[in-house]
Amino acid sequence: MRKIFLLMALINVFAGNLFGQRYVGGDISLLPEYEKAGAKYKSHGGEPISDLVPWLKAKGMNAMRVRLFVNPKRYAQLHPSGSLAQDPNACQDLEYVIPLCKRIVDAGISLMLDFHYSDTWADPAKQWTPVDWEGLSDEQLYDKIYSYTKETLQILKREGITPDFIQPGNEISYGMLWGPAGTSAPKKTFMGNNANWDRLGKLLGNAIKACREECPKAGIVIHTERVAQVDVQNNFYDKMQQLDVDYDIIGLSYYPYFHGPLSNLNTALGSLQNRYPTKKIMIVETGYSYKWEVPGTTVDLQNVWPYSDQGQNKFARDLVDTLEKYTNCNGLFWWWMEYNAFGTNLQGWYNAPLFDSTTGCATSALETICSFAESAGINSIVADEKDNVIYNLQGIPVKEMHNGGIYIVNGKKVIKQ
C-alpha cells in the first residue's frame, strides 16, 4: 500500500500558524503599470499568460510582496526635479495597492505588505519623513505611525485584504523617519552610538502595536540589508532585543552585485540563526541579472554567474541550496520580478527580473526558486515506486495533470508545462 508522509502538513498542525512552511514569491508592486503599458507575459516555453498572478501560483509561488508609500503624489509635486525628484516607480499609495493586494489574496496567495513610512524609496541611504508628517515632533510621530498603520490596515480589511506578513519599515538598518527629504543631520542609528535607538524602538513599537491589534495572526518582519557587514547586522538585531521590539521574522536583502558572494550570505545566516534561534529568517529582496550588468553594480561575479538565463538560473539554484541549510529560513522573495518591457515602449530596463524583456518569456530561474518551497512540501512526500497515481502538492490523488502544475508521480516531482 502506498504511504504518504506529509511532513510539512504535520509541522503546520503543530505550529498552528504561518511559520510551519516555506514561502516563495516576489515583489510585484509594479505589475499593474506593466499591464497598463501592454507588457506581454509568456511562459519559459513561449506560451502566452493571460493572468500572471494565478499563473505564478500554479508554478509554485505562494507569497507576494507589495510596497506602500504614504503620499507619493504629494512628494512628486514638491520635488519635480533634481536629486530629490520622485522616481515614477515609487507610485504605490493606498489607492494603488488595494486592487493589486486583492488580486493576490483572492488567488489564495499569502500577502506581505511593506510599509515604507515615506513618500518615496526608503532604504539605507534615505529614510525621509512623509511630507505631511514633516512638522511633527518625535512624540507626535510615535502617535502618527500608530494611527496611520492602524487606519491603513482597517481600510485594507474592509476591502477583504488581511496581510499574512507585515514589514514596518523598509531596509531600516540605520533607522527611519529621519526628517524632511534632504535633511542635513538626519536622525540615523549607528553601531557604537546610542543616539536615536530609543526613538527607533518607539516608532517600531507603535507601528507593531497597530499591526498586532488589526492583524494578530500576521508575521511581523524587521527588514535590514547588512549581510556583508555581520557585525552591523548583529548589532541591529541585538538592539531590537534590548529595546524589546515585538517581531517574528528577520527580513534580509541580498543582492550579490552589491553584497558579494554567497559566502557572505552564508556567514550572515549562520550568525543570525545561532544568535536569534526563535526568529524565522526571510530573504525578502534578492535578484540577479539575466542579461547585462545592473546599474550601480559594485561586485562583479560573472565568473560564477554569467549574465545570461543560465547564469541567473545557476545563481537561483545556488541560493536555494544555501537557504536550505538553515532550518530557520522560511522565505525567499525575488525583487521586481515582474519587470517586463516586451510589448511596451518602456525604457531604462531593469536587468534582474524573472521575465526577459526581449521575449516576454519567464526565465529559467523562476521555476528554480520555487523549489525552495517544494522542498518543504512536495519533496517531503515519500511514495512507493511505480504505482502510477498522480498526486498534487497536498498529497491528494488527482485524475490528471494540468498545465503549469507541479505533481508527484512514482515518487518523483513532475512539472506539467
| CA 314/CA 156 separation, integer angstroms | 38
Query: Measured between alpha carbons, how far is 221 from 237 in angstroms, rounded to an integer?
Result: 12
- Among 39, 99, 66, residue whose Cα is nearest residue 355: 39
Radius of gyration of the chain (CA): 21
Pairing outcome for strands 390-391 and 23-27: unpaired
Angle of CA points 253, 257, 259, to nearest 5°: 50
CA distance 349 to 229: 30
Rounded to the nearest 10 degrees, what angle do helices 309-323 and 262-275 cross at?
Answer: 20
Q: In what order do the strands lie in the sheet with 390-391?
A: 397-398, 390-391, 405-409, 412-416
Rounded-to-integer distance, Cα 367 and Cα 363, Å: 8
Query: Cα–chain-centroid distance for residue 229?
Result: 21
Q: Locate cell 518569456: which residue?
A: 361
Cα 329 to Cα 286: distance, rounded to the nearest angstrom = 14
Paired strand residues for 123: 126
The per-residue pLDDT for range 18-33, each reduced to its tens digit, is 456 999 999 999 999 9
Q: What is the pLDDT of residues 28-61, one digit of tens each?
A: 999 999 999 999 999 999 999 999 999 999 999 9
Tell me the percentage of the chain whose pLDDT exceeds 90.
83
- Using CA of residue 113, residue 116, residue 120, residue 122, what is the dihedral sign? negative
Report the run of H or E that residue 33 belongs to, with start and end.
Answer: helix 31-36
pLDDT digits (tens, 9 = 90+) for 101-136: 999 999 999 999 999 999 999 999 999 999 999 999
Q: Name the 3-class secondary structure at 239.
A: helix
CB 335 within 8 A of CB 326: no
Residues 6+ apart with CB under 8 A from 211: 149, 153, 166, 168, 218, 220
Task: Tell me how far apart the alpha carbons of residues 8 and 11 are, in angstroms, rounded to a whole number.
Answer: 5
pLDDT value, residue 417: 53
Q: Of 233 and 407, which is predicted with more confidence?
A: 233
Mean pLDDT confidence for 203-229: 98
390 band by pLDDT with thresholds 50, 70 and 90: confident
pLDDT given at position 17: 44
Q: d(Cα 355, Cα 342) in Å, to the nearest integer?
A: 9
Rounded distance between C-alpha atoms, residue 302 and residue 233, angstroms = 27
Among 225, 122, 220, 107, residue whose Cα is nearest residue 179: 122
